[in-house]
Structure 1
Amino acid sequence: MIKLKNKKAIWFMVISVIVIAAGTSYWLKNKNQAENTEVQYEQAQVTRNDIVVGFDSDGTIDYSKVNLRFGVKGTISEIQVAEGDKVNKGDIIAKLNDKDYQDQYQLALARLQDAQEEQQTSLLNDELSIKKTESDLQLLKDEYQEMEAIPDAYSANDIKMKKMELDNKETEYQNMLKQYELNKNKELQQDELQVKMAQEDLEDTILYAPVSGVVLGLSAKVGESLTDEEDFAIVHESNVVKAVTNVIEYDISQIKVGQKVYVTAEALPDQKFAGEVSKINSLPSEDSSGLVNYSVEVTIKDPSPELKDGMTCSVSFILKEVNNCLIVPYKSIRMVDGKQVVTVIDRSGQQVDKQIKAGFTDGNEVEVLDGLNVGETVVYQK
């Protein structure tokens, strides 16, 4: 019985040691965790910067391109530019062989000159006829007036017949005057139109640059033929660079023509280009995932030559922006007794609380309207 009692005592001592060891281990573990979860602080300087709120959309750089074609068909006789050349508005791009059009123009001119000569002859004959009719009319007037002056010397029927003859001659005379005016004004219209059309065709054998810019491409060479429906050259209008992006239906209501945007090309990540919305397409499109999108066109205000047609870019639509304002981290502001407060490090290195007046925020940075100066350091819980 004594041996059994000693065994119980030994087991009690072993269990006690295990419990004490486990408790010590648990206390040490909690102590280490408490030390590891101590509050950490960060510091930030008060600076001046912009705060921008908006959303981004992927897009593509799109040059403003003008497709050029001749106004008539023909064979290219001369090309005065090459791809990559700069051109000014009004510069000659290329010419067609104009021999046939010169011939047509000269033929139309000759026909017009012949018609003018014929018209002059015809009008001269008309004038002679008018003068004779005018003389005959005057003679009839004199005869009729004489018969009216001494009616007893003539029968009533003779006077009546003379009056009818006079009226008919007057009508004939007026008709001749009207026809003369019509012949003078209308007879050459068709020939003049033919000359005008032939002259326009001749002028259309020369292709001019309608805008100043850079020649992006030429579709034919000297000696090759083109129709008046085929483009010959593509010119990128100088300083007109756009970005095109698709905006989902949930965001399109936030966009308006004239709205400010920033464009950043993936190939030029350190350059941000300002622009504005120039066009919003009213017709929707649907992507492969079923989302409804609207095409939005943005005009870049001061594009760089480094921006190339077709580059992938990000278009940032600005909903609100505050420029050159004092900013601090959003986390640095606390509410104390209903007041906005930050902790700053003073000149002696001590931490002191300062009341401020906060303004606009994007959720990360806050505009400081009053209470802080550039260069001050704020301290806040991480």
Structure 2
Amino acid sequence: MKNKIGVLIVLVLIVVFGVIAFRWVKHRMEYAVTDAVFVESDSMANLSFYRAKGRIVKLLKEEGDRVEKGEVIAVLDDTDYRIKLEALSRKINALEEKKKALKEKMFRLKQQLKIKVETAHLTYRQAEASIQAVKEEIKQIDAQIQLVKKDEERFKELLTKELIPERKYQQVSTQLEVLLHKKEYAEKKLEELQIQLEKAKQGIKLAEAEKKVIQELEKEIKSVENSILALKKEAEDTQNLIKYTQLVSPYKGYIAKKFVSVGEVVPSGRPVYSVIPDNSLYILVLLEETKLKGVKVGNPVKIHIDAYPDEEYRGVVSEINPATAAKFALVPRDVTAGEFTKVAQRIPVKVKITEGNTSLLKVGLGGEVEIKKSR
């Protein structure tokens, strides 16, 4: 009886192990299973301060901390930049005041010049017209003098012959003296008008010279405006540098590495944090060449991460590398001599994660995958 029970137990165990073996073999035929699995990221970004440099006063994140897009994660001391901005503002205000004063001066000069030019031209035209009138007057006086001189000579001869009274001769003589005095006065007036005309000419020349002063003022104002523009651009750039003293995360993800400490003086471009963005994580599978048959892009994948045995992850095959991992080794095998040990090569397979809490994953974690094979 005992022998029969023992035989029965053996048969049951054989059946159980047979079923388990069958299921295991069947599972291995339907799935490519491997533990050469690593969590990787498409884009691990090293973040640094853009253009700004200085002493770090705040580091707001530690390794492993979550970070939101647009969140400030580090701050530089911006005192020097703010002092520079204040100095630039003072220079700009001083130049604005100078520009205002120069414009007021130029406005006054233009007004004065306008009056001077108008007055000089009016005086010139009046003097020119008066000279012409006086010249005509002198011409008429000369004509009258010639006639009176003839009368005076004729009357003098008649007086000598006692043909006319002396009073008659004195009238002609007096008339001649009046005309000569009149001509002398007109000639003096002409000289004065000519002097006045020359002064008007000089006034016009001086006004033209003052135009050059205004032109120089315009050049100076333009130079001041250019200086103001350059300082404003520098001030705008300094304001940007103040903004750049705050390091902002361009991604939503988590901090993978912190490279510096508070108090360190860092140049622009030096990495401060390394951030791994969400949705950039994937599973890198180094699949043995003997298990590659039936594995195709789009095949579903079950993912088990060693660090989180209770978490379930699923994915799909998104890429199968056309070369083995050994081809990209730092020291690839030399098979030209025909002397090598045959080992199973591994093909990099990229798996996109479609289900599971990816916020728990860290680059470099290991695990196991089961890739559903295609028939």
TM-score (norm 2): 0.48
The answer to which structure has the higher strand fraction is 1
TM-score (norm 1): 0.48
Larger Rg: 2
Structure number with higher relative contact order (C-alpha < 8 Å, ≥ 6 residues apart): 2
The answer to which structure has the higher helix fraction is 2
